[in-house]
Amino acid sequence: MSDRAKIIAFANQKGGVAKTTTTLNIAVAFAEQGHRVLCVDMDPQGNLTMSQGIDPDTLEKSMYDVLVHHIPIKEVIKKREIDLACASIDLAGAEIAMSTQIGRERSLEKAFVPILDDYDFICIDTPPSLGLLTINALTASDKVIVPVQCEYLSMRGLLQLQNTLLMVRENLNPNIEIEGIVPTLVDSRTVHAKEAIEILEENFGDRVFASRIRKTVRFAEAPVQGMSVLKYDPHGTAADAYRQLAKEVLENAER
């Protein structure tokens, strides 16, 4: 692998499809394999920040200051299971604050320049919208991983995401590609989940990861303890699912 960090955005404008859960647990799985990993919280909800036991309300500086005031990203990184560039609710005002700035879509890309040699992977969690925060993430990224909850309605939203990616590719970042689509919150007992995955595979072929992330209460319990599932229940099937997914991503990177 090259020395420069590989940058992956986790995106889907639909809420609650496990973007944050997937960002954190893949990142921790990369770290377990000896990689240097930075997670970046680009969601004003600050769920990724909280899921590592950090209270967003106590932050003096956060991604808002990086994006709007261009302070060095190192100043908002905290070291937990992985390194984490933190966000708080003030990030909700960043889209408006950036809207009049020249180069507003490239603010995050620029912030990464000084740290590209410090990490092997940078994993970006995005909010459930396709606004300027998500555009910044897609512009800064090499790849996008799309968590999809396996139900028909959430899959329809994938078209909208693909249109946004086309726009980003044409205007801002010609190189961004979909690394893969992850079926999340899979309830393997239902026929419906099976059918949904089949439809996904008919439409996206081998871009659908082989790994499946099943529904389990572990994923709700771990963030409350400020931990990844890999730390909270290291030998459980939930942790293994994300290790398997990370392995698929690492194998793609070597190809």
Binding site for ligand ATP (CB under 6 A): 15-21, 43, 45, 47, 128, 184-185, 213, 215-216, 219-220, 223
End-to-end CA distance of the chain, in Å?
10
Rounded CA-CA distance 32/40 in Å is 18
Identify the CA nearest to 14 among candidates 155, 110, 113.
155
Minimal distance in Å, beta carbon 4 to Mg ion? 27
C-beta of 43 vs 233, nearer to ligand ATP:
43
Q: Which of residues 193-252 bind Mg ion (CB under 5 A)?
A: none
Minimal distance in Å, beta carbon 211 to ligand ATP? 12
Q: Which residue is nearest to Mg ion (CB)?
A: 20
Identify the CA nearest to 53 among candidates 230, 225, 229.
225
- Residue 104 binds which entry of ligand ATP, Mg ion, none, CB below 5-8 Å type-dependent: none
Minimal distance in Å, beta carbon 221 to ligand ATP? 8
47 binds Mg ion, rule: CB under 5 A: yes
- Residue 136 binds which entry of ligand ATP, Mg ion, none, CB below 5-8 Å type-dependent: none
- Residue 72 binds which entry of ligand ATP, Mg ion, none, CB below 5-8 Å type-dependent: none
Minimal distance in Å, beta carbon 130 to Mg ion? 14
> DSSP string spanning 180-210?
EEEEESB-TT-HHHHHHHHHHHHHHGGGB-S
C-beta of 17 vs 168, nearer to ligand ATP:
17
Rounded CA-CA distance 103/87 in Å is 21
Q: 143 phi and psi, to 5 degrees? A: -140, 160
Minimal distance in Å, beta carbon 40 to Mg ion? 13
Q: Please say whether the beta carbons of 23 and 62 come within 8 A.
A: no
Q: Which of residues 10-39 bind Mg ion (CB under 5 A)?
A: 19-20
C-beta of 64 vs 242, nearer to ligand ATP:
242
85 secondary structure, DSSP code? E
C-beta of 21 vs 120, nearer to Mg ion:
21
For residue 117, give the 3-state DSSP assignment. coil
The region of 4-12, 44-52, 58-66, 82-90 touching Mg ion under the rule CB under 5 A is 44-52
Minimal distance in Å, beta carbon 129 to Mg ion? 11
Rounded CA-CA distance 235/49 in Å is 24
> DSSP string spanning 15-62?
TTSSHHHHHHHHHHHHHHTT--EEEEE--TT-HHHHTTT--GGG-SS-
- Residue 16 binds which entry of Mg ion, ligand ATP, none, CB below 5-8 Å type-dependent: ligand ATP
C-beta of 15 vs 72, nearer to ligand ATP:
15
Rounded CA-CA distance 249/194 in Å is 23
